[in-house]
Chains A and B, each alone.
Chain A
Amino acid sequence: MKKRIISVLFALIVALAPCTAAFAAEQSEIDALKGTKLYVYNWGEYISDGVDDTLDVNAAFEEKYGIDVIYDTYDNNEVMYSKLKGGGVSYDVVIPSDYMIERMIAEDMLDKIDFSNIPNYKYIPEQYKNLAHDPKNEFSVPYTVGMVGLIYNTTMVEEAPDSWTALWNEDYSNSILMFNNPRDAFAIAQSVLGMDYNNESPAAWRVAAELLKEQKSVSPAYVNDEIFLKMESGESAMGPYYAGDFLTMQENNPDLEFVYPKEGVNFFVDGVCILKNAKNKLAAELYINFLLEPDVALANAEYICYASPHTEVYSNPEYSFYQNEILYPEEGKFKTQLFLNLEPEILALMSTLWDDVKNHVPSTGNGNRAFFFGGETESVISDDGEAMTPEAKRYALYIGIFIAVCLAYVIFRYARKKYRENI
């Protein structure tokens, strides 16, 4: 309730606030943008949208500048990338994650931002600037930051897990969830194996893939946002997901708890970027600056529940997640790694290995479990793909029998027809 009242207040403040910021662009240039369109492409549920009396950020922007915001959403970086790369769409503003920003910079898809038009950039603290994916910080402005952790249901696990290996625990067969996207899934395996998430060695990725195949023996369900349903309803015992989303789930099911596993976790930064072919660049910069207005950023942080890289938000005692231990853990308390862009060959390898993992059917025994948890280092890495698994042979047999039966029937009918004609 408190949250709601605050948001209403902010909505008022935003509506009344005069244009205080000092833009490099002339006021007349800004006025000339009235009636133009700004195309924004963002993650789903990733901006305060006016539901439940929250601030409707896009509407407030439209009101302030008279620029129409055309807003579309995607559900992961790869979908966004494929859409943009496939052509046929044109956006001005996108909000990809770190490694995707780096990839898009490398492929010349992003335009440099004119920071003189973004005076509110001063609210971003140094620790979130010049990160490895955008070393000179020319292309992106941090929007949200966060970490991946392990969500578990206290009524379903005997002791609180503190390690990613809990996701391989056969006691919880059929009630373990796993990321249904290769990058995050591999990161968990790489954490367990003590590897770098941005490993450039194909052999290392193969080892990680073997570990993910190994996980099939606990029959994990590979999920994206179905995790909300499955964790909140008490269907699943544990699953990895983003810290901010855990807070949303916990509101609906107080039995849920959260831990940052000791092997280390992924730390991500989603940044606002302007695309190379942006048709309305100045409006895009105004939009980015508007997102950094302290009240707008606060409304977004309240709505999204992810950690905010905005000094005026996280140091505001009124903020619901002020000094929240999950969103804002002490610096250096947990081991974190950033995703970086991978070489095209490694990306292609990751895709094929992921196909193999999804395709893999565990043998009934728990064969090489010992390999990963017993500490032996002998290589058991098979080459790409499994030509004919026992399961595939079984299906081939069934299909063969089915076709044989159909054929036999047809031949029988035909023979009978001939026989009757002869009588």
Chain B
Amino acid sequence: MNNRSSLGSKLVASPYIVWSVLFIIAPLIFVVYYSFTDAAGNFTFENIMSLSKYAPTFLRSIWFGIVATVICLLIAFPIAYIISQKTEKVQRTLVMLVMLPMWMSFLIRTYSWMALLQDTGIINNLLGKLGIDPVHMINTSGAVILGMVYNFLPYMIMPIYSVMAKLDHSMVEACQDLGGNRLTVIRRCIIPMSMPGIVSGITMVFVPSVSTFYISQKLGGGSFDLIGDVIERQFQQSYNYNLGASISLVLMILILICMAVMNRFSGDEEGMVI
């Protein structure tokens, strides 16, 4: 009996296992292989050693990623809370509205931001009509971060919302019964209980923000080189798979470290709930 069910579960899991071996494990092995070999296929540490010159790019990417993630969190948390307070029908509509932009290609949306933000763009034209001096927005670090926040915001809202929608309301009521005002209820009850959503939201925004490359090229005018741009160039322009792979490897390790720290942090928080 036990045997059969484990066979069944293996069968059910097999498509995913095959998928992940082919498209996750195997590419990872290639990344590691290329990182430690030179063009001729000999073992070398040279790629990894040469990465120190990209330190400024790494730092810039991580900082932009942190800023975008924090802004996303600040915007997404109230939105998710408000949505979860509505009736089910309204909730469904609002969630659809959050997802709506994702029906269109990410590339096209980013390209459109370029037309919106440029000096002769729609926003500056409107400002001009209102008699306000044009603001230089395109090709600034602000524009890059705006692009990240805009593109990755739904990934923050959705996990927080889905946790909040399933919150045990008796907990919230208990908190209110014990004399907590609205702020206390949010601070001591809702935030700790929605921590799993917040953590996965942070992961889902931070990881793509750090490794993005298209946004920085279009909205940053290519002047805010992020680590994703460098990696893309190694593969597409320079045909230097070895350097590209080693940058990717280091980036992956950095992100893994960040995630491990985050998970520690959240585990600690959940412990505080009760």
Binding site for B on A (CB under 8 A): 76, 78-79, 81-82, 85, 174-175, 180-182, 216, 219-223, 226, 229-230, 233-235, 347-348, 351-352, 354-356, 358-359, 384-389, 391-392, 395-396, 398-399, 402, 406, 410, 413-414, 417
Contacts of B136 in A (CB 8 A): 174
Residues of A within 8 A of B13 (CB): none
Contact A174 B233 (CB under 8 A): no
Chain B residues, CB < 8 A from A216? 223
Cβ contacts B226-250/A at 8 Å (1 or 0 each): 0001100111111110000000000
Q: Does B115 contact A (CB under 8 A)?
A: yes
Number of B interface residues, CB 8 Å? Answer: 40
Inside 8 A of B225's CB, which chain A residues have their CB?
Answer: 355, 358-359
Cβ-defined contact, A174 with B59, below 8 A: no
Interface string of B20-45 (1 = CB under 8 A from A): 00000000000000000000000000
| Measured CA separation A389–B66 after assembly (Å) | 20
- Closest CB in chain A relative to B71 CB, distance in Å: 13
Q: How far is the CB of A239 from chain B (nearest CB, A)?
A: 12
Chain A positions within 8 Å of B229 at CB level = 358
Is A229 within 8 A of B114, CB to CB? yes
The closest CB in chain B to the CB of A173 belongs to B136
Q: Does B121 contact A (CB under 8 A)?
A: yes
Are B139 and A174 touching (Cβ within 8 A)?
Answer: yes
B240 and A351: CB pair below 8 A?
A: yes
**A398 nearest CB neighbor, chain B only:** B63
Interface contact B56-A223, CB-CB below 8 Å: no
| Complex interface: chain A residues within 8 A of B121 (CB) | 233, 235
Contacts of A220 in B (CB 8 A): 221, 223
With A395-B63, A402-B66 known to touch, is A386 a contact of B56 (CB < 8 Å)?
A: yes
**Residues B119 and A174 in contact, CB atoms below 8 Å apart:** yes
Please measure, in the bound complex, the distance between the C-alpha atom of A221 and the C-alpha atom of B66, giving whole angstroms. 25
Complex CA distance for A85 and B236, rounded to whole angstroms: 11
Any A CB within 8 A of the CB of B53: yes
Task: Decide if B57 is an interface residue (CB 8 Å cutoff).
Answer: yes
Q: How far is the CA of A121 from the CA of B269 in the complex (A)?
A: 75
- Let me know if A399 and B53 touch, CB within 8 A: no
Inter-chain CA distance A116–B264, complex, in Å, is 72
Say yes or no for B191: interface residue by CB 8 A criterion.
no
Residue contact B118 to A235, C-beta cutoff 8 Å: yes
Contact B120 A351 (CB under 8 A): no
Determine if A233 and B120 form an interchain contact, defined as CB atoms under 8 angstroms apart.
yes
Q: Which residues of A contact B120 (CB under 8 A)?
A: 233-235
A391 and B56 form a contact (CB under 8 A) = yes
Q: Are B56's CB and A78's CB within 8 A?
A: no
Please, which residue of chain B has its CB at the minimum distance from the CB of A416? Answer: B272
Shortest A234–chain B CB gap in Å is: 5
The residue among B55, B56, B222, B268 with the most chain A CB atoms within 10 A of its own CB is B56
Q: Are B217 and A81 in contact (CB under 8 A)?
A: no
Q: What sequence of 0s and 1s flags, for each residue 128-156 of chain B, a beta carbon within 8 Å of any chain A beta carbon?
A: 00000000101100000000000000000
For this complex, 27 residue pairs linking A to B, each with C-beta atoms less than 8 Å apart, are A78-B237, A78-B238, A78-B239, A79-B237, A82-B236, A219-B221, A220-B221, A221-B222, A221-B223, A222-B217, A222-B221, A222-B223, A229-B114, A233-B121, A235-B120, A235-B138, A351-B237, A352-B53, A359-B56, A391-B60, A395-B63, A399-B59, A402-B66, A406-B265, A410-B268, A413-B269, A417-B272
Q: Which residues of B contact A388 (CB under 8 A)?
A: 55-56
Q: Which of B62, B238, B269 contacts A399 (CB 8 A)?
A: B62
Q: Return chain B residues, CB-CB under 8 Å to A413.
A: 268-269, 272
* A351-B233, A355-B230 known; A396 vs B59 contact (CB < 8 Å): yes
- Whether the pair B223, A229 counts as a contact (CB closer than 8 A) is no
Q: How far is the CA of A182 from the CA of B225 in the complex (A)?
A: 14
Q: Using Cβ atoms and an 8 Å threshold, which residues of chain A touch B62?
A: 395, 399
List B contacts of A235 (CB < 8 A).
118-121, 138
